[in-house]
Amino acid sequence: MGFPETRMRRLRRSAVLREMLAESTLTVKDLVAPLFVREGIDAPQPVASLPGVLQHTVESLVKEARRLSGAGVPALILFGVPADKDAEGAQSWSPDGIVHVALSSLRDELGTQMVLMADLCLDEYTDHGHCGVLDARGEVDNDPTLALYAKVALAQAKAGADIVAPSGMMDGQVSAIRSALDDEGYHQVGILAYAAKFASALYGPFRDAVDVTIAGGGDRKGYQQDPRNLRQALREVELDIAEGADMVMVKPALSYLDVIAAVRQAVQVPVAAYHVSGEYAMVKAAAERGWLDGSAVALEQLGAIKRAGADFVLTYFAGEVAELLGA
């Protein structure tokens, strides 16, 4: 009869058997690629703190999207780096804004071959680096910001976005965006809400990629989630779904696997997780020093996020992992 441990090992003795009995599986269709497009450059520029990640021109962005689509990646999410910033972030809703020009080019090139998502926030476009307009005290003013988010959503929808992804963590942002889209006839445009976005120390490389510095050495702890709180995060998710979110996101991913699992148990809508810049950069830095196998760790980490309950994962590893999974 043997020891119970032996019976368990019998189920792991070959690669084919392990594959057959895998309880969760990561596939290329689970991946969304975050991409950056920068205004006013003639060639793609590397992001020093994100090895392998580029700030694209519109032309190189379209080329990269075509490559990712060919590798089986079903979706991308686009972030813009404008040439000019101001107190309100007006380039975020300008028809000539870099993201809208890029979205139109992607749509013309790819048609319906890829799902085009657009990050919806003001921080890349404001000269103070916050996710909303500021009041007289220098604090983010929630309600005036909602009106601007509505304008951004409409601009992104007109440019060809399939899904808008509000990331600013303003109260009522999903409702304001859904109303604006529906009022203008964009009923088909979905909303992926950054519903449980934590005030994490893991966003540093991303801020390099979008040239964002928060004025006065400030932070976003007043409107992003407290990393110590799970129940509060679940409440935020619940509110966003009630306001009309089609999908919800947990960000970051690896440090919040318990949140992903709890959200998955609590809701019926698709759940996304963002494997953020710091999580990616740590693996790349260690791999460059020969301390670990970067590709193996990437697969392990993304598999853990999927196992925790995420339906899809936003990750800078998307292109690399797509090639690994397709090999």
The residue annotated as part of the active site, out of 85, 197, 284, 306, is: 197
The two structure tokens encoding residue 291: 């301390």
Residues 150, 152, 158, 159, Cα dihedral to 10°? -160
For the purposes of burial, counting CB atoms within 10 Å of the CB of 261, is it exposed (0-12), middle (13-18) or buried (19 or more)?
Answer: middle
Contacts of 209 (CB under 8 A, 6+ apart): 36, 47, 49, 50, 53, 55, 79, 81, 277
Give the pLDDT score at 9: 80
> Which CATH architecture is the domain 24-326 placed in?
Alpha-Beta Barrel (3.20)
Domain edges within the chain = 24-326
158 is catalytic: no
85 labelled catalytic? no
pLDDT for res 10: 82
pTM for this structure?
0.92
Q: What's the longest Cα–Cα distance across the chain?
A: 76
d(CA 120, CA 321): 26
How confident is the prediction along the chain (327 residues), in pLDDT tens digits per residue?
556 666 778 888 888 888 888 888 999 999 999 999 999 999 999 999 999 999 999 999 999 999 999 999 999 999 999 988 988 888 898 999 999 999 999 999 999 999 999 999 988 889 887 877 888 888 888 999 999 999 999 999 999 999 999 988 889 999 999 999 999 999 999 999 999 999 998 988 878 887 777 766 666 777 788 999 999 999 999 999 999 999 999 999 999 999 999 999 999 999 999 999 999 999 999 999 999 999 999 999 999 999 999 999 999 999 999 999 985
pLDDT of residue 289: 97
What span, in angstroms and rounded, lies between the C-alpha atoms of 154 and 148?
10
Output Rg (C-alpha) for the chain, integer angstroms: 20
DSSP lists the bridge partners of residue 27 as none
Q: Residue 53 — φ and ψ, nearest 5°?
A: -100, 140
CA 198 to chain centre: 13
Cβ-based neighbour number of residue 258 at 10 Å: 12
Q: Which of 278, 297, 279 is nearest to 287 (CA)?
A: 297
For residue 317, give the nearest of 287, 118, 184 by alpha carbon. Answer: 287
Q: SS3 for 33?
A: strand
For residue 183, CA distances in Å to 99, 131, 133 come to 23, 24, 24
- Which of 63, 221, 251, 306 is an active site residue? 251
Phi, psi (5° rounding) for residue 245? Answer: -65, 135
Q: Letter for the amino acid at 296?
A: A
Q: What is the pLDDT of residue 209?
A: 81
